[in-house]
Amino acid sequence: MTSSKDAIAKLIENTIRDDIRAVASYHVPDASGYIKLDAMENPYQLPESLRAELGQRLADAALNRYPVSYPTLKAKICASLGVPAGYDVMLGNGSDELISLMAAAVARQGRGGDARRAVVMAPTPAFVMFSRAAQFAGADFVGVPVKADFSLDLEAMLAAIEQHRPALVFLAYPNNPTGNLFDAGHMEAIIRALGETGIAVVDEAYQPFARTSFMDRLPAFPNLVVMRTLSKLGLAGIRLGYLSGDAALLEQFEKLRPPYNVSVLTQVAAEFALEHLDVLDAQADLLNQERTRLAAELAALAGVEVFPSAANFISLRVPDADKTCSELRTRKVLIKNLSKMDKLLANCIRVTVSTPEENTALLNALKASL
């Protein structure tokens, strides 16, 4: 008789896809007791008075009801976040979910003849969810390396588009994990090259810090989708992402959206936050000021190379990233080691910009960890 452990192993082998069994889970480290600078979270909460008011609003939410298509929240997003007139938004449980839904929407399976599996493309290094979502949806992911200074290799991108005819191309603006803004003219050339054969998704997760956007270009490019999130602005915990694009395209993506993917609590909290966008924008201003200070102080450290950032994080190269990360961990500072992620990121680490106190603590710990 086989043990139940053997039986479950057989069951998994017989049912779960080979490529799923082969991947490692997305690891979220336990951060209790640490200064948490690994996930681009806003260190500030809403002020006490607003939190009390939000508490009341949440208490009044109709938790007994399923959420209904979110008209008020969508209208608030369109009105306050620069969505062009005549354009609607689609909401996701974080932009992570929207990435997965778009990948699923294009993941046509090649059958017979010269039919090929759909290709999802992004310049790399890129946000890991782009390749993961493509894989899980059953599409092939093609990464096109950026240049050594992390700028787009336009020629290589255009050649890869010609060769692979991707159905979906993700361009993070600014890019994560590098922090830089790609050249907008190069991005337009890519969107134009995709034309009627591919959808370009400009992922503006860091728009609150970059203060620049492709949103107003939507009317110029029918194959353009602009995606954002409230996460980096200070609401990572509520999980709300949104995207905008041509209504007919959104209608297709909407078919894949689980009808109640955004909870009533998220809806209420997001509406409340948008009514107080000035508070969140002021926090982003503070973080941008700290980014300037932190970048300068990091650049002054011997052996450290700091890369320009338009986001709420800074990527830098140190003499020995593994050593620096483990020493920082013993000093109770959690950051992201990028070294293994991509050839171009050898000995690179990424730190979230935080409060002046936490940034100073990082600098002091780093001086002892290089």
Residues in the site for ligand PLP, rule: CB under 6 A? 40, 94-96, 127, 172, 176, 203, 205, 229, 231, 236, 241
Which positions ≥6 away from 58 have C-beta within 8 Å? 265, 268, 269
3-state secondary structure of 208: helix
Nearer CB in complex with ligand PLP: 40/154: 40
Shortest Å, Cβ 8 to ligand PLP: 31
Q: Give the helix ranges, DSSP H, for the chain.
A: 4-15, 18-22, 48-59, 71-80, 94-106, 128-137, 154-164, 184-194, 207-210, 247-254, 264-275, 277-299, 321-330, 356-367
Nearer CB in complex with ligand PLP: 132/165: 132
Shortest Å, Cβ 331 to ligand PLP: 25
The Cα–Cα gap between 60 and 63 comes to 9
Q: With contact defined as beta carbons under 8 Å apart, do 168 and 103 qualify? A: yes
The Cα–Cα gap between 347 and 315 comes to 10
The Cα–Cα gap between 310 and 302 comes to 23
CB atoms inside a 10 Å sphere around CB 49: 8
Phi, psi of 123 (to 5 degrees): -65, 140
Q: With contact defined as beta carbons under 8 Å apart, do 204 and 210 qualify? A: yes
Return the residue matching tokens 């159905």.
167
Nearer CB in complex with ligand PLP: 229/244: 229
CA 53 to chain centre: 29
Q: Using CA atoms of 22, 350, 308, 168 in order, give the dihedral in degrees to the nearest 10.
A: 20
Return the residue matching tokens 């134009």.
192
Nearer CB in complex with ligand PLP: 224/365: 224
Nearer CB in complex with ligand PLP: 225/365: 225
Return the residue matching tokens 């503070």.
286
> Which residue, among 212, 172, 174, 156, has the nearest Cα to 307 in the 3D structure?
174
The Cα–Cα gap between 16 and 8 comes to 11
Q: Which token pair is 293?
A: 């200070």
Nearer CB in complex with ligand PLP: 203/246: 203
Shortest Å, Cβ 7 to ligand PLP: 36
Residue at 51: amino acid letter: R
Shortest Å, Cβ 311 to ligand PLP: 8
